[in-house]
Amino acid sequence: MTEPEIYDLNGKRVWVAGEHGMVGSALVRRLQREHCSLLRMPRRAIDLRDQAATSIWIKSCKPQVIFLAAARVGGIAANAAMPAQFLYDNVMIAANIIHAAHEAGVERLLFLGSTCIYPRDAAQPIREEALLTGPLEKTNEWYAIAKIAGLKLAQAYRRQYGADFISCQPTNLYGPGDNYDLDSSHVLPALLRKIHEAKQAQAGSMTVWGTGRPMREFLHVDDLADAAVFLMRHYAGEMPINVGSGQEISIAGLARLISTVVGFEGELVFDRTRPDGTARKLANSSRLNALGWKSARSLEDGVRQTYTDWLATMPSDERSNAARTE
């Protein structure tokens, strides 16, 4: 059973803030299948941390709908290296866009948070009610605090001004357009790259950070984009909604899965000097499921597709080298 549609995107002027990032570009791909008018901002045309510039942009292009996917993001190492940027950039982006959207009379806005907003020791699978019930995981508290501020802004503007702003928090994402830089990436693209390179080099082993024991839930970014469009159409309320796949795997299990996909048969070595981060972070997505949306793609299919997508972005000499060694 799907909840009835409460908002019609047909003919609407829609802006995806952060349209050049992994999430934003997935949203643009998804919205291109809708009969709406997508407003496009050239890459780096406006610094969304700049309040005046952001406000002028929104007032001049007059979106009726905003998907707020712009953010500074990164994996466990990037969070540790750049706490100021993760906090400042994300607070500013959220505050500037949400305030300007309110001033410009935007009809609907969806703020994209992250499941790292939840307390480190929250009961699993984590329900939305767990927010602000305990201390955060230290390895990403700066980013988490900025994301909590963003969803609280959406709630506050809804409560005080009646603005129809909603939030959702996706679980760990992967897919086309991800960051493959090993110093700043998340685990899935990092392991795809490291395992691919280990195979090419015919290495006997490759290194996985931490103990391999932490559990993570992964969602393909195209599934997130579909869920976000679904929420825009079917949901209004203060409660920020979890968006997960329900597919949980240990980091060691993920490394084994990627080894199978890539065809690497060497040993996995665990570097225990690297942090594990949160032990487990499985979202309870039953609210979203009850509204009528559920992820259908298996993690293995998603990883295979992502590996193919990534190989396709490589220069052709590297790609053919990769194909030869398969």
Give the DSSP H/E element, type plus range, for residue 51: helix 51-61
Under the criterion CB under 6 A, does residue 274 sit at the interface with ligand GFB? yes
- The answer to whether residues 246 and 173 touch, using CB atoms and an 8 Å cutoff, is no
Under the criterion CB under 6 A, does residue 306 sit at the interface with ligand GFB? no
Q: Which of residues 102-121 bind ligand GFB (CB under 6 A)?
A: 114, 116
The span of 10-18, 69-77, 92-100, 224-232 binding ligand GFB (CB under 6 A) equals 69-77
Q: How many residues of this chain bind ligand GFB (CB under 6 A)?
A: 27
- Give, in order, the Cα–Cα distances in Å from 43 to each of 36, 47, 75, 175, 244: 21, 10, 23, 20, 29
Whole-number minimum distance, CB 23 to ligand GFB, in Å? 11
Hey, CA dihedral for 3, 175, 178, 19, is it positive or negative?
negative
CA 255 – CA 141 distance, rounded (Å): 26
**Nearest C-alpha neighbor of 150 from the set 84, 247, 67:** 67
- Give, in order, the Cα–Cα distances in Å from 249 to each of 32, 206, 212: 32, 19, 10
Interface with ligand GFB (CB under 6 A), residue from 251, 262, 303, 322: 251
Under the criterion CB under 6 A, does residue 264 sit at the interface with ligand GFB? no
Say which of 7, 88, 118, 143 is annotated catalytic.
143
Catalytic site residue 143?
yes
Q: Which of residues 182-241 bind ligand GFB (CB under 6 A)?
A: 185-187, 190-191, 194, 208-210, 214, 216
Residue positions annotated with a catalytic role: 143
Which residues contribute to the site for ligand GFB (CB under 6 A)? 75-77, 79, 114, 116, 139-140, 143, 172, 185-187, 190-191, 194, 208-210, 214, 216, 251, 274-278
